[in-house]
Amino acid sequence: MSASTVEAAANGFQITGKTRVLGILADPVAHVKAPPRINQIALDRGRDAVIVPFHVAPDDLPALVSALRLMKNFDGAIVTVPHKGAMVNLCERISDEARVVGAVNIIRREDDGSLVGDVLDGRGFVAGLAAAGIEPAGKRVHLTGAGGAASAVAFSLARAGIAALTLANRSRDKAAALRGRLAEIYPALSVVLGSYDPSGHDLVVNGTSLGMRDGDPLPLDAARLTPGMIVAEVVMEPALTPLLALAGRCGCTLHFGKPMLDHQLELMADFLKL
Amino acid sequence: MSASTVEAAANGFQITGKTRVLGILADPVAHVKAPPRINQIALDRGRDAVIVPFHVAPDDLPALVSALRLMKNFDGAIVTVPHKGAMVNLCERISDEARVVGAVNIIRREDDGSLVGDVLDGRGFVAGLAAAGIEPAGKRVHLTGAGGAASAVAFSLARAGIAALTLANRSRDKAAALRGRLAEIYPALSVVLGSYDPSGHDLVVNGTSLGMRDGDPLPLDAARLTPGMIVAEVVMEPALTPLLALAGRCGCTLHFGKPMLDHQLELMADFLKL
């Protein structure tokens, strides 16, 4: 046994016939960041499991997922772009949140081969807030966006017990549809369709991709931000979006986009029973 | 990044989205020995690839193999018990040797998703002989057995240029069938159906599983071994079979079963383009 094998074994990175297998379903797949971090979590938790990339085109996803049910040492997968929507219909069971958000970003294979799906984007966002000492319960929240990320954030904030939610979105119909889906699960929550003016809210969240590219318009009326507001991003890159830069100059508390992913990895590991 | 991640990265064991994926198809799978050794070879060769176990039942093999064709970062798999025979009919192309042996123990996925199969047991055996300084070319060989392992060994010895082959087997029909299949590919090779008496041969090979279990009969008439003969095993466990123990007392050169596997791993890595 060479020195590097000994070291790898000491690190727990030795893959054997007993190792449980996890995947990350994506197309393309080369850029995905989760594998080394999930493998590190498995190692830290003393689990003999490894996650590897599964590169599959959208047309081939159903056949591959069917076959993965048959792999007895396959325990589940992270699901990412462009497969999150399609995966909703490929699971035997999905969470209420995944159903209403219309996306699955993680699947677990049960012993009988059935697949259970969930979406953890929103819970990662809330866990990131909590780790920064920000408790959503009781807060009045202004959320821009009504797409996948904004929907996931809205459901998780509702679950976390916010007092009220204002939705601002370019398409008012889409925001109304999100309000309707929220009402199915959280009928007591006050949700209004509002403007881009965040006045009167405690927590202001950008749930769109605006800020990712140079020249993007601001996602909301940043001139109406006031000191004491918490301003949060789902955009991870750049870390300091134009919105956050303006919010910082206003004396707002800033919450960056990256903690949503960081905290989601632990939640994913929990869901996968690592 | 924790210390162990840094070490793992330094070892080359960091799995990322770019890592190519290989499998080992088996049922059961927990006992397979190849993964750490193939991963070490990949590491030694500087390849960003990892082999993981794929546990699949015989009935589910066709569906899983079909789906693996669709996985764009899947490069191939080792195939072992009980799937070697079934895999013959699941590949787009197999080698002549795999066809006549009736077994595939390795598959490579080409860029177009098609699968190419081969059987490397016999070549591993011959490579192990070569590494021990034993050159089969020109030798008169006595081989006991006509099953999967013996067939693979027979074809590889024929390819390596042996002068003559005597087949001894409990079922003479099965030995005759092996002779017929050998004649398809190596029509010039002299193959006779003989007895268990190894007299007059240079290289004597046990190609059966006899010697693996306590109380097994000897695979051939060991009383007729003579000094100077090379006596070789396909049985790996125990290393010193009763046949080899007797051959050692006779002054024969011994060749153990394990080099067949050891050298096959390098051939497998070559076949998988690691």
pLDDT in tens, B239-270: 999 999 999 999 999 999 999 989 999 999 99
Provide the pLDDT confidence category of residue B3 given band limits of 50, 70 and 90.
very low
Considering only CB atoms, which chain B residues are within 8 Å of A26? Answer: 17
The burial of A89, by beta-carbon neighbours within 10 Å (0-12 exposed, 13-18 middle, 19 or more buried), is given as: exposed
The verdict on whether A18 is a catalytic residue reads no
Asked whether the beta carbons of residue A13 and residue B8 sit closer than 8 angstroms, the reply is yes
When CB atoms are compared, the residue of B5, B13, B55 closest to A72 is B55
Decide if pLDDT at A30 tops 90. Answer: yes
Average pLDDT rounded to a whole number, residues A150-161: 95
E strand intervals along B112-221: 115-118, 140-144, 164-168, 190-193, 203-206
Q: Tell me, what's the pLDDT at B2?
A: 44
Smallest Cα distance from A130 to chain B, Å: 22
State how far the Cα of A184 lies from the Cα of A168, in Å rounded to an integer: 20
A to B CB pairs, distance under 8 Å: 145
Average pLDDT rounded to a whole number, residues A187-195: 97
Considering only CB atoms, which chain A residues are within 8 Å of B55? Answer: 71-73
Q: Tell me, what's the pLDDT at A149?
A: 87
Q: Tell me, what's the pLDDT at A10?
A: 45
Asked whether the beta carbons of residue B32 and residue A39 sit closer than 8 angstroms, the reply is no
Q: Which residues of B are catalytic?
A: 84
> Which stretch of DSSP H or E encloses residue B39?
helix B34-44
Torsion of CA B21, B25, B30, B36, to 10 degrees: -40
Q: Which CATH superfamily is domain A122-260 in?
A: NAD(P)-binding Rossmann-like Domain (3.40.50.720)
Considering only CB atoms, which chain A residues are within 8 Å of B15? Answer: 35-36, 39, 50-53
Considering only CB atoms, which chain A residues are within 8 Å of B57? Answer: 70, 72
Smallest Cα distance from A98 to chain B, Å: 25
Right CATH for A12-119 from 3.40.50.10860, 3.40.190.10, 1.10.1660.10, 3.20.20.60: 3.40.50.10860
Among candidate residues A33, A72, A84, A174, the one labeled active-site is A84
When CB atoms are compared, the residue of A17, A35, A66 closest to B29 is A17
State how far the Cα of A107 lies from the Cα of A65, in Å rounded to an integer: 10
The residue among A37, A48, A55 with the most chain B CBs within 10 A of its CB, best to mutate, is A55
**B90 close to B224: Cβ distance less than 8 angstroms:** no
The CATH 3.40.50.720 domain(s) of chain B lie at 122-261
Average pLDDT rounded to a whole number, residues A184-189: 94
Per-residue pLDDT tens digits for B9-67: 445 569 999 999 999 999 999 989 899 999 999 999 999 999 999 999 999 999 999 99
Considering the entire predicted model, what is its pTM? 0.85
Q: Does domain B3-119 have CATH number 1.10.10.60?
A: no
Q: Strand B106-109: give its sheet, edge to edge.
A: B49-55, B20-26, B74-79, B106-109, B115-118, B93-94
Considering only CB atoms, which chain B residues are within 8 Å of A39? Answer: 15
Flag the least confident range among A46-55, B12-21, B105-114, B195-204: B12-21
The residue among B21, B71, B81, B262 with the most chain A CBs within 10 A of its CB, best to mutate, is B71
CA atoms within 13 A on the CB side of A1: 9
3-state secondary structure (DSSP) of residue A145? coil
The CATH 3.40.50.10860 domain(s) of chain B lie at 3-119
Per-residue pLDDT tens digits for A80-113: 989 999 999 999 999 988 998 889 999 999 999 9
Asked whether the beta carbons of residue A11 and residue B16 sit closer than 8 angstroms, the reply is no
Considering only CB atoms, which chain A residues are within 8 Å of B41? Answer: none
CATH number for the domain formed by residue range(s) B122-261: 3.40.50.720
In 3D, which of A77, A14, A92 has the Cα closest to residue A48?
A14
Q: Strand A49-55: give its sheet, edge to edge.
A: A49-55, A20-26, A74-79, A106-109, A115-118, A93-94
When CB atoms are compared, the residue of B39, B44, B70 closest to A15 is B39
Closest-CA residue of B relative to A60 is B70
The CATH 3.40.50.720 domain(s) of chain A lie at 122-260
The CATH 3.40.50.10860 domain(s) of chain A lie at 12-119
Closest-CA residue of B relative to A26 is B17
